[in-house]
Structures are given as C-alpha cells and as structure tokens.
Amino acid sequence: MNVGIGGLWIYLQTSPLLWLTLTLAAYWCADLLWRRLGQPALLHPVLVAIVALVLVLRVTGTPYERYFAGAQFVHFLLGPATVALAVPLYRNLGLVRENAAAVAIALVAGSLTAIVSGIAIAHALGAPDVIVRSLAAKSVTAPIAMAMSEKIGGIPSLTAALTIVTGITGAILATLLFRERPANWPARGLAIGTAAHGIGTARAITLDSTAGAFATVALGANAVVTSLLVPLIAALMIR
C-alpha cells in the first residue's frame, strides 16, 4: 500500500495541474481561516499560503522549478490583476486630480524614505554590500525591483524575496494601524501603495475603495520614482 501511494505521488508531482491546484487551495484555505478568525493581521492569507506551500515543497523534496511549472499560470494572471486595479482608480479619478500636488510630494518622500532607510539599516547592521544593494528597491513591484537590483549589483532573487516580505509586512501593518474611523483614506491608501506595492494595494482595496484608488496611483508612480532614485542613491551611499 505504501509503495502504491509513493508511486502515485511521484506521478502526480510531474503534473503541472497538481501545483496549480495546491496553490489555489492553499490561498483559499488561508483566506477562509483568516475570515473565520475575524481577519487577524498576523494571519494574512498570502503569508499563511506561502508558509503552507513552502512546507509542502520542503517535506516532499520538490524543487522550485517543478512547482513553478504549474504555478506559472497564477503568475500569468498578475498582469490582468494589475490592470484590474484601474477600476477603483477610475471611480476616484477626480479626487486624485484634486490632490495631485500632495500626492507627488508624498510619493517622492515615501520613495526616498524606503530606499535610504533600507540601505542605512543594512549598513548599520554590517550587511555585505551585495545584500545592501539587494535591499535598495524592496518597496516596488517585484519585476521592477529585480531589474533595478541587477543593474546596481544586487541579487535579483534575493530582492524578489525581500519585496514579497515587504508587501506582506505592509499589509499586516495596514490592518493593525488603519482600523480606526473616521479615516483619511486617501493618505492611508497612498502610504500603503508606496511602501507595500501590489500586496499592500490589494489589502487597501479591501479596506476602502478610495484607499485602493490612491494605493493604485502610488503603486505605479512609486515604481517610476524609485527606478530613477535607486541608482543615484546607491552610488552615493554604497561603496
């Protein structure tokens, strides 16, 4: 019986459908648990799903490449999901235009803070230069962060991991800090979109549609601002 189960698992491992199904099931279960427990900040569905999938891959000895062969279908949907973020932005476009100057100033300040603080803290803790460079672009969406990391001499894969951690941390902190009402949702949305990219923006949308609109603006604009600032700041601060 054990041999039969082992053989079945070996067969299933080669099927991309298995890993796609497990990825969707992990998130669905994590989201269900999160809602049933009253949406606790520390049990964010993305965090719980990642931990669950890592444990499965670790226990079964499955290489990441085999897993991604199936999960890449979810990765493909990141494009349409990003485009869908335009919906709350369109609904609040007038409010965004009215606050354009404040948004621009906040974006530059937020981008500078994210870059400089990451580099300075890593330096203070004695991290090697390659780690410091990998941290510089952690607060923008992963594809852009990885490209910037490679350009300034960081490790793109490490930057991707740090970006995911930053997004999850931002979403958790937003849940903890943004519960009180009445709330300045435009400012809160702008803050989470600037600091926590896509994962934070997704959380902002669930909190309030106006917050989601401003988080979407910050998500896109911060990628542009950060891509301009990272090479300059890295050249000045990293030896």
pLDDT band at 32 (very low <50, low <70, confident <90, very high): very high
pTM of this structure: 0.76
Give the whole-number percent of the chain exceeding pLDDT 70.
Answer: 88
pLDDT at 172 over 50: yes
Residues near 88 by beta carbon (within 8 Å), at least 6 away in sequence: 205, 209, 210, 212, 213, 216
pLDDT at 28 over 90: yes
CA nearest to 85, candidates 177, 185, 187, 220: 220
pLDDT at 3 over 70: no
In angstroms, the CA 47 to CA 54 distance is 11
pLDDT score recorded for residue 182:
58
pLDDT score recorded for residue 12:
53
pLDDT score recorded for residue 8:
45
* Distance set, CA 127 to CA 3, 135, 158, 228 (Å): 48, 10, 14, 24
**Mean pLDDT value across the chain:** 82
DSSP string, 73-134: HHHHTHHHHHHHTHHHHHHTHHHHHHTHHHHHHHHHHHHHHHHHHHHHHHHHTT--HHHHHH
In angstroms, the CA 216 to CA 87 distance is 10
What does the pLDDT average to over 33-43?
Answer: 87
pLDDT score recorded for residue 1:
45
pLDDT at 24 over 60: yes
In the chain, domain spans: 2-76, 83-237
90 or 32: whose pLDDT is higher?
32
Going 119 to 121 to 126 to 127, the CA torsion angle's sign is negative
Locate tokens 């891509």: which residue?
227
pLDDT score recorded for residue 15:
62
pLDDT score recorded for residue 180:
64
pLDDT at 218 over 60: yes
6 or 206: whose pLDDT is higher?
206
pLDDT score recorded for residue 29:
93
pLDDT score recorded for residue 187:
86
pLDDT score recorded for residue 52:
92
Phi and psi torsions of 28, nearest 5°: -60, -45
Contact (CB, 8 A) for 192 and 201:
yes
In angstroms, the CA 15 to CA 94 distance is 48
